[in-house]
Amino acid sequence: MQTSAKLRESAILPREFYGRDPVPVARDLLGKLLIRRIGRKRLVGRIVECEAYLAADDPAAHAFSGRTPRNAVLFGPPGYAYVYFIYGNHYCLNVSCTKDGEAGGVLFRAMEPALGIEDMAKARGLELSELNSPSQLRLISSGPGRMSEALGITRERDNAKDLTSSRSDLYFSDDGYRPERIVATPRIGITKAVDKPLRFTIAGNPYVSGKRTT
DNA sequence: GAGGAGATCGTCT
DNA sequence: GACGATCTCCTCT
């Protein structure tokens, strides 16, 4: 089941949206649009997979062992981008979700390309004309590193960016789409707190990362 | 299709 | 100096 790529009028998500516990924020972010503006162009994807990271009681979270220069954004106000570099190769995008001073965030793991698909493919070193099947199209943005590369997200450019400002070139919006069914599973790629079901996906969506279940 | 290992570097101890 | 919220390529079946 694919979501419609037709974009209706949409509203930028306000800071209050992120000023809650990361779990409901992660669930509610599924189906929202992530928009990157590059000059007059827009790259748009629909979020289909994300993970919640808490601070207290969550050893897998970057914020767990306290504030450092790297993770400072997670301790700041909600609605800001936390971008980090991992494995010497990849950038991962999070948004800060802080409630009552408690650090937290949501990691974005996959999106369904909606607009500017050719530019996203190019950014990934792929040729759209050669991507003929859904399983090949997944290569554009199924995985946190792939998603960031498709949208040109880097730490230098986007870390600590306000994602709720209409002046920002990176933000989330709501076009009214609501997923039919959301699935919660354990998070991927971590070695601590591996059993917590804090990864959320849109059931059946082909752009979810990892093994295909459909 | 599944599984394993290398790449590669910022961050923290 | 070790490790990591990953991806890709290669080998084996």
Bases along strand C below 7 A from a protein CB: 4-8
- Predicted TM-score of the model (pTM): 0.94
Q: pLDDT per residue over A27-71, tens digit each?
A: 999 999 999 999 999 999 999 999 999 988 899 999 999 999 999
Backbone angles phi, psi at A167, to 5 degrees: -85, -10
Bases along strand B below 7 A from a protein CB: 2, 7-13
The DSSP string of A111-136 is: EEEEE-HHHHHHHTT--GGG--SHHH
Q: How far is the CA of A211 from the C1' of C12 (A)?
A: 20
Q: Which protein residue's Cα is closest to nucleotide B1 at C1'?
A: A211
Identify nearest nucleotide to residue A104 by CA to C1′ distance: C5
Q: pLDDT per residue over A151-195, tens digit each?
A: 999 999 999 999 999 899 999 999 999 999 999 999 999 999 998
